[in-house]
């Protein structure tokens, strides 16, 4: 019986456990309750504990999850998948493979999610031969037409440097969703094959009639920024507006950064001013774009607006602002930024330190520059 004075007044349910497991302390309480009420052998209940500990960012306690796993008499595919998924994304992905082989040894058949997590582990381990062996198991199991498996398989071959294998899986796959196309587009961009990446985008829209998502647009717009392809970047911006992706903060930031790096500050300012939401990355892109184009005074004015809106700058932001101070001789502004760095505990990498010393030197404050240098 449950103590009526405890917080567990309601009957134990899966939903109640899920709502309660929001911290390690709460999960330990739930664990103790399941032990006391002899419900730990019910996989549906214990799976909620494992999901928090192995998968959620706030849980992140695989050692505790493993201890609970050892107390389970008959773990089902969902529980195995939870452990495999958790370890696949951890600093020790080889443990994911151990759980996978334990699963097979326990005569529990992997499902499509299992293979997805396993390929993630193989990719992180760069275990090409192991992944190819599991690819054969996928073919024997009939999961080669599952979109989750196909996408993770393409990603695996791409991460392992087997670009031709990734393309072959893509070409032979009977199923393709937006994730499939995104994986291939990103694989081409990663190899510097920007033209082919853009071709894939056009084929995706034309042949499969699949609408791009935020990942698609961010990847392609960022590629335009790298190669300075302003015209194509404008076209992608127009396309993002057509599918209502330009309101997405990450997409908006990518478009803003593209315009800045391509030197089209007029379009960049228009995008910046129309953004419904702005974060530190938005402000930093605009500040850097102005400073890099020689608009130093405008950059400093924008930084003051950023301060007025109480946006916390990071080290990248301050490098651009210090550069503007150095070029305009704005020593007082530079001293203020130095004070801001100390007050807010801004991480000082070598780039930021160099920018600070350079600002003092160019503003004629050699003594301050020497003290900063030492």
pLDDT band at 80 (very low <50, low <70, confident <90, very high): very high
% of the chain residues with pLDDT over 70: 91
Alpha-carbon span 96 to 294, nearest angstrom: 51
Residue among 247, 267, 248 nearest 257 (CA): 267
pLDDT band at 320 (very low <50, low <70, confident <90, very high): very high
Q: Do 14 and 45 form a contact (C-beta atoms < 8 A)?
A: yes
Q: Determine the pLDDT at residue 8.
A: 46
Q: Determine the pLDDT at residue 14.
A: 63
Q: Determine the pLDDT at residue 260.
A: 95
Q: Is the pLDDT of residue 219 over 90?
A: yes
Q: Determine the pLDDT at residue 196.
A: 93
Q: Determine the pLDDT at residue 42.
A: 84
Q: Convert the pLDDT of each residue in 52-76 to its tens digit.
A: 889 987 657 899 999 999 989 899 9
Q: Is the pLDDT of residue 6 over 60?
A: no
Q: Determine the pLDDT at residue 23.
A: 77
> How many other C-beta atoms lie within 10 A of the C-beta of residue 288?
21
Q: Convert the pLDDT of each residue in 256-306 to its tens digit.
A: 999 999 999 999 999 999 999 999 999 999 999 999 999 999 999 999 999
Which residue, chain included where needed, has tokens 């969902």? Answer: 78
Q: Is the pLDDT of residue 373 over 60?
A: no
Q: Determine the pLDDT at residue 13.
A: 65
Q: Determine the pLDDT at residue 210.
A: 86
Q: Determine the pLDDT at residue 60.
A: 74
Q: Do 214 and 246 form a contact (C-beta atoms < 8 A)?
A: no
Question: What is the pLDDT averaged over residues 109-131?
Answer: 96
Question: What is the pLDDT averaged over residues 81-102?
Answer: 96
- Token readout for 175 is 């199923």
Q: Is the pLDDT of residue 124 over 60?
A: yes
Question: What is the pLDDT averaged over residues 338-362?
Answer: 87
Q: Is the pLDDT of residue 12 over 90?
A: no
In this structure, what DSSP letter does residue 193 have?
-
Q: Determine the pLDDT at residue 208.
A: 67
Q: Do 41 and 72 form a contact (C-beta atoms < 8 A)?
A: yes
Give the CATH number of domain 279-374; options: 1.10.10, 1.25.40, 2.70.98, 1.20.1050. 1.25.40
Burial of 260 (C-beta count, 10 Å sphere; 0-12/13-18/19+):
buried
Q: Determine the pLDDT at residue 1.
A: 38
Dihedral angle of Cα 123, 126, 129, 135, to the nearest 10 degrees: 10
Q: Determine the pLDDT at residue 29.
A: 82
pLDDT band at 38 (very low <50, low <70, confident <90, very high): confident
- Which residue would you say has higher pLDDT here, 173 or 25? 173
Q: Is the pLDDT of residue 2 over 50?
A: no
Q: Do 174 and 145 form a contact (C-beta atoms < 8 A)?
A: yes
Least confident of 54-63, 241-250, 307-316: 54-63
Residue among 239, 244, 215, 234 nearest 256 (CA): 234
Question: What is the pLDDT averaged over residues 169-192?
Answer: 92
Q: Is the pLDDT of residue 125 over 90?
A: yes
- Token readout for 343 is 């007050």
Alpha-carbon span 228 to 246, nearest angstrom: 20
Residues of the chain within CATH 1.25.40 domain(s) are: 279-374
Q: Determine the pLDDT at residue 367.
A: 66
């Amino acid at each position: 019986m449950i103590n009526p004075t405890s917080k567990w007044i309601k009957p134990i349910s899966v939903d109640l456990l899920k709502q309660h497991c929001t911290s390690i302390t709460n999960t330990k309480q739930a664990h103790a309750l399941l032990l006391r009420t002899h419900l730990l052998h019910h996989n549906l209940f214990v799976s909620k504990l494992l999901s928090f500990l192995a998968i959620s960012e706030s849980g992140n306690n695989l050692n505790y999850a493993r201890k609970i796993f050892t107390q389970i008499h008959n773990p089902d595919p969902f529980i195995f998948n939870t452990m495999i998924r958790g370890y696949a994304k951890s600093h020790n992905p080889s443990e994911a493979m151990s759980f996978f082989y334990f699963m097979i040894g326990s005569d529990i058949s992997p499902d499509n999610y299992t293979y997805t997590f396993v390929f993630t582990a193989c990719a992180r381990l760069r275990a090409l031969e192991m992944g190819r062996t599991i690819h054969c198991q996928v073919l024997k199991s009939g999961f080669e037409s599952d979109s989750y498996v196909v996408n993770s398989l393409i990603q695996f071959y791409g991460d392992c440097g087997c670009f031709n294998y990734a393309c072959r899986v893509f070409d032979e796959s009977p199923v393709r969703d937006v994730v499939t196309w995104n994986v291939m587009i990103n694989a081409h961009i990663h190899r510097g094959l920007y033209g082919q990446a853009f071709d894939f985008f056009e084929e995706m829209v034309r042949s499969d009639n699949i609408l791009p998502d935020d990942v698609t647009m961010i990847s392609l717009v960022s590629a335009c920024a790298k190669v300075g392809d302003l015209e194509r970047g404008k076209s992608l911006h127009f396309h993002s507006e057509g599918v209502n992706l330009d309101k997405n903060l990450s997409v908006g930031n990518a478009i803003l950064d593209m315009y800045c790096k391509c030197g089209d500050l007029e379009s960049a300012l228009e995008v910046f001013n129309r953004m419904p939401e702005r974060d530190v990355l938005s402000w930093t892109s605009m500040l850097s774009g102005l400073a890099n184009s020689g608009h130093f005074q405008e950059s400093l004015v924008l930084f003051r607006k950023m301060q007025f809106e109480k946006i916390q700058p990071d080290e990248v932001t301050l490098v651009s602002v210090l550069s503007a101070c150095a070029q305009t001789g704005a020593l007082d502004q530079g001293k203020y930024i130095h004070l801001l760095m100390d007050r807010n505990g801004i991480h000082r990498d070598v780039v930021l330190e160099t920018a600070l010393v350079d600002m003092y030197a160019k503003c004629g404050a050699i003594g301050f520059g020497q003290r900063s240098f030492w």
